[in-house]
Amino acid sequence: MAAAAPPPAPTPTPTPPNTVPAGSTPIGHPLFSRVRLATPSDVPHIHKLIHQMAVFERLTHLFSATESALSANLFSDPPFRSFTIFILEVSPKPFPENSPHNANPNYTPVVHIIHSDLPVEDPEREIFKSEDENIAVAGFVLFFPNFSSFLAKPGFYIEDIFVRECYRRKGLGKILLSAVAKQAVKMDYGRVEWVVLDWNTNAIQFYEEMGAQILPEWRICRLTGDALQVYGNTN
Residues involved in catalysis: 207
What are phi and psi for residue 159, nearest 5 degrees? -80, -45
Sign of torsion over alpha carbons 192, 202, 57, 68? positive
Report which of 74, 106, 86, 100 is spatially closest to residue 33, judged by C-alpha positions. Answer: 86
Strand partners, 155: 146
- Beta strands of 52-179 (E only): which ranges? 84-91, 110-114, 136-148, 153-163
How buried is 156 (Cβ within 10 angstroms: 0-12 exposed, 13-18 middle, 19+ buried)?
buried
87 forms bridges with which residues in the sheet?
36, 140
